[in-house]
Amino acid sequence: MLQQTIPLVILLAAIFAGIFLNNKKADDLKADFQREIARLDDKIDNVSAKLEVIQADLRQFYHLSGKHEGRLDAIEKRLG
């Protein structure tokens, strides 16, 4: 009976070790995913900030070009 119990204990220990190692790998994988998600979130934030600056610059450009277009129209009316 003791001879049958020892291999069973070894088998159960090996199974629990495998479960533990698989859980450890899963935790490592989860941590890797979380780091990658955080890195991508930072990149998205940077791109969003740059887009906001570009939109502000475009608004200013179109505002100024509209003013200049109005002035050119006024000059053309006076000349023509």
Write down the pLDDT at residue 7: 76
Average pLDDT, the chain: 86
Give the model's pLDDT for residue 9. 76
pLDDT score at 22? 78
- Tell me the pTM: 0.56
pLDDT one-digit tens code per residue, 17-38: 888 777 788 888 889 999 999 9
| Per-residue confidence (pLDDT) for residue 59, from 0 to 100 | 94
> 3-class secondary structure for the chain?
CHHHHHHHHHHHHHHHHHHHHHHHHHHHHHHHHHHHHHHHHHHHHHHHHHHHHHHHHHHHHHHHHHHHHHHHHHHHHHHC
